[in-house]
Structure 1
Amino acid sequence: MTAFLLRKLGWAAATMLTVSILVYLALEVNVDDVAAKVLGQFSTGEQREAWLLANGYRDPLVLRYGRWLVAFLSGDWGLSSHFRAPVIEIIPARLGASLLLGACALLVMVPTALLLGVIAGMRPNSVMDRVVSVFAILSTSVPDFASAVLLSAIFVFWLGVLPGTSTMLTGFSLSELVLPVAVLALYSTGYLARITRTAMAEVMASHYVRTARLKGAGTFRIVFRHALRNALIVPATVVMMQVPWLLSGVIVVEVFFAYKGFGSLLYDAALNSDIYLIEACAMVSVVVVVLSQILSDLAYVWLNPRISLSGAERSAGVTDA
């Protein structure tokens, strides 16, 4: 286990280092552009040159990157040119808001999808199986922005039972979370249900399940004692890989519903060319992605102890592909 975690942490460090280089090269190679975005379009050439010299931007690129990386690791993420506040003070609250939104979406998505998938997989080609398949196809065919418009049209403008924005200006409001959570959960629920259905159907057709039936075991015992754990191996890894997708999905949802989370923060940073904020958001996103990958591998081994940790890494790589 220790060797496995060390390998995964090494992979995570290499991934984050690579991404940090790409992010830095993409945003800070053109130093004149950096000065213009930080100081504003109305700054003079003399002001920009003085700022570049004062902040070491006339030093070699490798030296500048090393200095930036050390400062970033020490918690100095720079000053947001748009919000006029230290970046490290802005991100935690916004990230917490998005984690709340994503957690609520997972709490809705995972139980619903697993239940539908298990029920459909227990009896392939049954009426329930066909209903789940139709639901999965319809839900995964509709993009986030379209489902947001559709749900808003129904529950905000037609029925008038839910608010159309989720600004949380008066504090936490459960009603303001309903539509964003529904939009995030809708797509993934159908996809995960279909994955679970396929895994469950395969397990129910296996030899050990047939042997249990021949021995007179009831359906409840077969499903919960023999089939369910093996059927959840692939869905569990898929659930963990939904975390990176949620990071990208929340951008559309948060902007649409004016939700003050990490996604809308990244959108505002890109819209206003806030270089330091974009860099920090990118690195935080990478950390979340690599952590979800590590947790996915650990969940894979826990659900199937017969598979070694090295085998789990190979299988997880196949699943990701």
Structure 2
Amino acid sequence: MLRLILKRLAQMVLIMAVVSLVLFAIFDSDKFKKQIAVAELGGFAVSALSEQDYNNWLASKGLDVPFYERYVKWVGGVFGGDLGMSFEKNIEVSTLVGERLVKTGILAFWVFALMIPIALTLGVLAGMKEGSTQDRVITFISVFTTSIPELATAIFLMVIFALTLGWFPPTSSMGQGWEYERLVLPVLTLVLYDFGYVARMTRASMAEVMTSQYIRTAVLKGVPKRDVIIKHALRNALIAPFTVIVLQLNWLLSGVVVVEVVYQYNGFGRMLLEAALFGDVYVIQAGALAAVFIAVLSQIISDVGYTFLNPRIRFS
């Protein structure tokens, strides 16, 4: 197991290096840097930017040195905790990314706290009685909610609960402290969109386990149905959904851009979108590294969890 973890960590370092180098190369063209300069200096077009102003801007941002020198300096800064300065917001990237990761982390916590129990419970109930009315109703609800885009769900909930009923604020900017009622609509949007996928995976896995020979043997021996489900079927049925659940870490980190933009939630996904539109290269770099780290971390968690759910699995 230790060898597996070390291998995954080595892969993470290699992927981070490649991603950072590719992004640096993409954003190093003069055309791109001039667009950033125009946006920051308040110009209207690249043609309106004088050569002197452009050179002064390059010098102020440290972009007038060769590519390889800047890249090596940036890599050294990463190891020292210095990720550079945001061109758009003029603050340290480490501070900005840290704040946005915390906010998305809080959003993800509440999504997981609600989504996982609901999805697993409905999936198990559907898989226990495959083909029954109970199974069909749960499957229909799961497919229906998952098939509706996040944008449509967000607008639908906002119109009903914020604009019509007035129960919750229509935005979740969280600018004046943590008002948790502002999290209700974003969390509900993500739960409605995502729980159906996990529930269907759980249902399929549970249905397959319930038809296995050892379950039939336990039933024929007179083992109470409750014990058959909890002690024998449930553990094996959770192996496949476990992978899906762990993969949601990646989705909740950078795949919630739509929800964060609609509700004006200042999370990690919205930060990446704003940085990409502005061309804030250091923020994009740091965000990409954070996303790679979370992706590899989720794989490690998945592999370790597999060994507990299924002791027959061993990783070389």
Same fold (TM over 0.5): yes
- Does residue 218 in structure 1 map to residue 224 in structure 2? yes
TM-score for both structures, normalised by structure 1: 0.90
Q: Distance in 1 between matches of 2:156 and 2:32?
A: 41
Alpha-carbon distance change, 171 to 51 in structure 1, aligned in 2, over 3 angstroms: closer
Larger mean CA deviation between 265-274 and 207-216 belongs to 265-274
Deviations 1:277-318 (A, max 9, x none): 2222222122111211211111112211111023xxxxxxxx
Query: Which residue of structure 2 aligns with residue 316 of structure 1?
Result: none
Q: Distance in 2 between matches of 1:158 and 1:56?
A: 51
Q: Distance in 2 between matches of 1:64 and 1:282?
A: 18
**Residue pairs, 1:162-177, within 5 angstroms:** 162-177=168-183
Query: Which residue of structure 1 aligns with residue 147 of structure 2?
Result: 141
Q: CA shift at 1:62, angstroms? A: 3.9
- Does residue 17 in structure 1 map to residue 10 in structure 2? no
Pick the aligned partner of 2:313 from 304, 307, 318.
307
Q: CA shift at 1:257, angstroms? A: 0.7
Report if aligned partners of 1:184, 1:249 keep a CA contact under 8 Å in 2: no
Pick the aligned partner of 1:153 from 159, 162, 172.
159
Which secondary structure does the structure 2 equivalent of 1:308 belong to? Answer: coil
Task: In structure 1, give the amino acid aligned to 2:36.
Answer: K
TM-score for both structures, normalised by structure 2: 0.91
Which secondary structure does the structure 2 equivalent of 1:198 belong to? Answer: helix
Q: CA shift at 1:50, angstroms? A: 4.9
Query: Which residue of structure 2 aligns with residue 270 of structure 1?
Result: 276
Report if aligned partners of 1:78, 1:87 keep a CA contact under 8 Å in 2: yes
Task: In structure 2, give the amino acid aligned to 1:283.
Answer: L
Q: Distance in 1 between matches of 2:10 and 2:176?
A: 44
Alpha-carbon distance change, 251 to 219 in structure 1, aligned in 2, over 3 angstroms: same
Deviations 1:43-65 (A, max 9, x none): 63224335546836442x44443
Task: In structure 2, give the amino acid aligned to 1:255.
Answer: V
Task: In structure 2, give the amino acid aligned to 1:149.
Answer: I
Q: CA shift at 1:93, angstroms? A: 1.3
**Residue pairs, 1:1-321, within 5 angstroms:** 1-28=1-28, 30-31=29-30, 33-34=32-33, 37-38=36-37, 40=41, 42=43, 44-50=50-56, 52=58, 55=62, 57-59=64-66, 61-310=67-316
Q: Relative contact order: is structure 1 or structure 2 higher (C-alpha 8 Å, sep ≥ 6)? A: 2
Residue ranges of structure 1 left out of the alignment (5+ in a row): 311-321
Report if aligned partners of 1:212, 1:222 keep a CA contact under 8 Å in 2: yes
Q: CA shift at 1:36, angstroms? A: 5.1
Report if aligned partners of 1:77, 1:87 keep a CA contact under 8 Å in 2: yes
Q: Distance in 1 between matches of 2:16 and 2:132?
A: 47
Report if aligned partners of 2:104, 2:252 keep a CA contact under 8 Å in 1: no
Report if aligned partners of 1:120, 1:129 keep a CA contact under 8 Å in 2: yes
Query: Which residue of structure 2 aligns with residue 315 of structure 1?
Result: none
Query: Which residue of structure 1 aligns with residue 46 of structure 2?
Result: none
Deviations 1:16-75 (A, max 9, x none): 2221122212222x146326525636463224335546836442x444433322223322
Aligned-residue Cα RMSD (Å) equals 1.9
Deviations 1:80-115 (A, max 9, x none): 121111111211111100000011111111000000
Report if aligned partners of 2:254, 2:291 keep a CA contact under 8 Å in 1: no
Q: Distance in 1 between matches of 2:175 and 2:252?
A: 24
Q: Distance in 2 between matches of 1:6 and 1:110?
A: 29
